[in-house]
Amino acid sequence: MRGRTARALLAAALLAALAPAAAPAETRRVEAVGAYGLRADHPPDKPPREAAIRQAIDEAVRRVGIELLPDWDPEEADDVLGRVLGNDPTVYAPRYRIVEDRGERAALFSRDPEAEREYVVLVEAQVDVDLVRQRLRSSGVAIPSGDRSKRVRIVIEQLADYPSYAALRRALEERVGVRAAVPVEMERGRAVLELDADRDARGLMEALSRLGDPELTVTPISVEGDTLVVRVSYEPAPPVSSGRRR
C-alpha cells in the first residue's frame, strides 16, 4: 500500500515538473505626469498630491489601452477606455513609484481650464497589459492581433514658449498621424513628449520636415534610437482685420 502511494506521489511530482509553466503576465513600465488643478477661490475636494498620483496612474493605464487599439481615433479610444476600465486605475497598475514630486506650480498640465495652479507628480507605473486587454475583449471591444505601434520620444530643446510646444503637439496628432503625444517632462526651456506612432524616430523626423507649415518651424537636431531631438518655433499669422474703413 505504501509502495503504491509512494509511486503515485512520484508520478504526480513528475507530471508537475513536466507541465508547461504558466506564461508570466505581460506588463509595461509607463512614465506619466499627473496634475491636479487648484483654484484660488475653490478649496480642493481631495488631497492634491494623492489626486495627482491617481491621475498619473490613470494616464499610464489609458496609454496602454490606446496602444492596444491602434486603428481607433485617440479620443474615441479614450472615451471607450473610460467606460470599460472603471474608476480605479490601480486595478491595472497596483505597482508604481513616484519618480519626481514636483509639488505645487503654475498650471500647465491640468485638465481644469480654470485652474491657476496645480500639484504635479511624475509616476512610473507597472501596467498589467494582459488585464487591460482582457477587460476590453470581455466588453466586446475588438483588439487586432499584433502590435504595430512604436514608442518614440521627442525632446524639444531651447523651448521658448508654451504656444510652440502646443503647436508641435497639434501637428503630431492632427497632421502626422501620431495616435497620442503625451508630455512626460516639462521644464523651462525643455519638454519631452512620448509618442504612440506607426513610424520610428527617423520616420517622424522626415514627416515633420514635410509639414510645409509657414507658422511652425521644426528643426531636427539629432536622432538616436527611439529618441528625436528638435527645436521648435511657432509664429502665428496676424489676425485679418474685418473692420470697415471710413
Task: Summarize pLDDT for 84-97 with one digit per residue, the tens.
Answer: 999 999 999 999 99
pLDDT tens-place string over residues 208-227: 887 777 888 898 899 888 89
The CB density around residue 213, as the number of other CB atoms within 10 Å, is 13
Question: What pTM does this model have?
Answer: 0.59
The DSSP element (H or E) to which 194 belongs, if any, is: strand 190-197
Looking at the structure, tell me whether residues 154 and 134 fall in a common domain: no
Q: Identify which of 67, 72, 44, 74 has the alpha carbon closest to the alpha carbon of residue 147.
A: 67
Residue 148 pLDDT level (bands cut at 50, 70, 90):
low
Query: Does 221 fall in a domain?
Result: yes
Three-state DSSP class for residue 102: strand
Q: Supply the range of the domain harboring residue 209.
A: 150-234
Q: Identify which of 169, 172, 163 has the alpha carbon closest to the alpha carbon of residue 234.
A: 163
Query: Does 217 fall in a domain?
Result: yes
Looking at the structure, tell me whether residues 75 and 123 fall in a common domain: yes
Cα–Cα dist 22/11, whole Å: 20
Greatest alpha-carbon pair distance for the chain in Å reads 114
**Number of separate domains in the chain:** 2
Residue 178 pLDDT level (bands cut at 50, 70, 90):
confident
Residue 20 pLDDT level (bands cut at 50, 70, 90):
very low
Q: Which residues fall within 8 angstroms of residue 141, CB to CB, at 6 or more apart?
A: 69, 80, 84
Asked if residue 68 lies in contact with residue 136, where contact means CB atoms within 8 angstroms, the answer is yes
What are the backbone dihedrals phi and psi of residue 41, each rounded to the nearest 5 degrees, phi first? -100, 15
pLDDT tens-place string over residues 59-113: 889 888 887 887 777 778 888 998 999 999 999 999 999 988 989 988 877 777 7
The DSSP element (H or E) to which 121 belongs, if any, is: strand 117-128
Query: Does 80 fall in a domain?
Result: yes
Query: Does 208 fall in a domain?
Result: yes
Looking at the structure, tell me whether residues 101 and 177 fall in a common domain: no
Residue 24 pLDDT level (bands cut at 50, 70, 90):
low
pLDDT value of position 22: 42
Q: Identify which of 204, 238, 206, 217 has the alpha carbon closest to the alpha carbon of residue 158.
A: 217
Give CA separation, 202 vs 66, 131, 150, 172, 186, in Å: 22, 32, 12, 14, 23
Query: Does 59 fall in a domain?
Result: yes
What's the mean per-residue pLDDT of the chain? 80
Domain boundary among 80, 114, 138: 138
